[in-house]
Amino acid sequence: MSNKEEDKYFQKLEQDRIESLRRERELESLRRTERAGIAASLSTSEEVANEAMELGFSAETARVMPLLPLIQVAWADGSVSVAEEKSVLELAEARGIEKGSAAHDFLSMLLVEQPSDLFFERVNRVLAHIISADPDSWIKKSVPELCKEVANASGGFFGFGNRISEEEEQLIEELTHKFDAASTTAEDLTMYANK
């Protein structure tokens, strides 16, 4: 290899390295912007937003995160009925998630393809963090009731009897306890810090 070829080779390596660094900076800038958008959408810290981002949420789809316990309840018995799907989508639309938006499409996808238990567990952990930071959050107050509304959408015998299955009832109790525990922990920490 001649000196000229060698110089060309090292110039090319340096250009590739600079280009790689530039792309990495651009990606990091996009991640920061997305993380800030998620944090704003969920009214939470960037640390919690980062966890949401790792779960596949974007600034636009993060708005559906507080509704995921409803989807978890809909899937509790292994399938989502048409009535449960309709109930979840109507509740989402009532919360400002418009048909045709990325958030609505994401929600619809989660009603068709069952997310893993690990996904639900991680989402609920993020929601618990949000509640611990804001014990008066609408999530703590409204989500268990909304879960019952979804569970009541179908079930029973020809619409009579207990419309909420045992699996759904148990899950709603677990979610209520988890969200209550999250706010209790935050209240305890605040009381302890003020002593």
Label residues 20-57 b or e (16+ Cβ within 10 Å = b): eeeeeeeeeeeeeebbebbbebbebeeebbbbbbebeb
Q: Is residue 118 part of a domain?
A: yes
| Span 184-193, pLDDT tens digits | 443 433 333 3
* 109 within domain boundaries: yes
The DSSP call for residue 160 is B
Residue 194 pLDDT more than 60?
no
Q: Which domain holds residue 138?
A: 63-194
The answer to whether residue 178 sits within a structural domain is yes
What's the CA gap between 122 and 34, in Å, rounded? 19
- What digits encode the pLDDT tens for the residues 9-36? 888 888 888 888 888 888 887 778 888 8
- Please answer whether residues 89 and 107 qualify as being in contact, where contact means their C-beta atoms are separated by less than 8 angstroms: yes
Structural domain contains residue 48: no
SS3 content of the chain, % helix, strand, coil (to 5): 75, 0, 25
Please enumerate in sequence order all residues whose Cβ is within 8 A of that of 83, keeping only pairs 6 or more positions apart, or say none: 153, 154
pLDDT of amino acid 190: 33
Does some domain include residue 22?
no
Tally of structural domains, the chain? 1
> Dihedrals φ, ψ of 165, to 5°?
-70, 165
Residue 82 forms part of a structural domain: yes
- Rounded CA-CA distance 62/25 in Å is 24
Report the pLDDT value the prediction gives residue 105, as an integer from 0 to 100: 95
Domain-embedded: residue 18: no
Query: How far is the C-alpha of 74 from the C-alpha of 40, rounded, in Å?
Result: 28
Residue pLDDT, tens place only, 40-99? 888 888 888 888 989 989 999 998 988 999 999 999 989 999 999 999 999 899 889 999
